[in-house]
């Protein structure tokens, strides 16, 4: 599969990233942020979709410090158990460092117009919110990010467009957490939070246990509009 190598900013080594290129360049770049299942078929397919929309898509292996090359699904309990173990051992601060390194690398890729944003799912949705508060990404998109209610004290550091897709019936994001997000972020300039009624976590993962075609199509359309407006 197409892959590039990125040097970690702390000098501890390097990590791989899946790369999907659009048909035409120059183009903006989107750093795709993985779920807890690694850079798997679902993430590679999402990268290909973003490239098909006309953007460079790059998905770094964020679990490389624990186990490089993780590629699992949500099909079995054993895989879920392994995924949660990886998530629990994952150093999010180091993950943000690696995402910033990926963002910087994306901006200077041949064919990039110098603009780059992020789009994350699940754990990646949380990290996309953190990138909105801790990086200079040109835009950030969060799909059903987990634990964002605990990060809301950083909202005043959000200076670029942020789009959040939230599932009404998310088993990992209780109603109280959703209410806290809406109360803190509602009305903020440049921030849009959309709640999708009746759907569960991972509603936009095609072929996944909670796929919902209508909600996914609406959410993905909103994402496409933001990427086009901010990345060119």
Which positions are annotated as active-site residues? 170, 201
Distance CA 11, CA 13 (A): 6
Would you state the structure tokens that stand for residue 98, as one six-digit string?
């690696």
Phi, psi of 102 (to 5 degrees): -65, -40
Residue 26 CA to residue 110 CA, distance in Å, equals 8
> Cβ distance 139 to 163 under 8 Å?
yes
Q: Is 171 in a helix, a strand, or coil?
A: coil
Pairing between strand 56-60 and 14-20?
antiparallel
Among 16, 62, 13, which residue's Cα sits nearest to residue 35?
62
37: exposed, middle or buried (Cβ count in 10 Å: 0-12, 13-18, 19+):
buried
């Amino acid at each position: 599969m197409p892959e590039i190598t990125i040097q970690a900013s702390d000098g501890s080594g390097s990590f791989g990233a899946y790369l999907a290129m659009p048909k035409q360049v120059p183009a903006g770049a989107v750093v795709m942020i993985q779920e807890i299942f690694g850079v798997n078929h679902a993430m590679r397919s999402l990268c290909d979709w973003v490239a098909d929309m006309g953007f460079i898509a790059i998905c770094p292996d964020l679990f490389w410090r624990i186990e490089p090359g993780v590629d699992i699904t949500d099909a079995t309990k054993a895989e879920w158990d392994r995924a949660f173990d990886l998530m629990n051992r994952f150093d999010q601060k180091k993950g943000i460092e690696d995402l910033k390194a990926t963002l910087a690398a994306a901006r200077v890729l041949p064919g990039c117009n110098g603009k780059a944003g992020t789009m994350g799912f699940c754990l990646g949705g949380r990290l996309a919110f953190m990138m909105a508060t801790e990086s200079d990404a040109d835009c950030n998109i969060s799909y059903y990010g987990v634990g964002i209610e605990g990060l809301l004290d950083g909202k005043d550091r959000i200076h670029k467009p942020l789009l959040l897709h939230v599932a009404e019936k998310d088993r990992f994001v209780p109603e109280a957490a959703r209410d806290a997000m809406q109360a803190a972020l509602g009305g903020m300039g440049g921030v849009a939070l959309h709640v999708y009624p009746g759907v569960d976590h991972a509603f936009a993962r095609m072929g996944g246990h909670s796929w919902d075609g209508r909600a996914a199509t609406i959410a993905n359309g909103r994402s496409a509009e933001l990427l086009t407006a901010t990345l060119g």
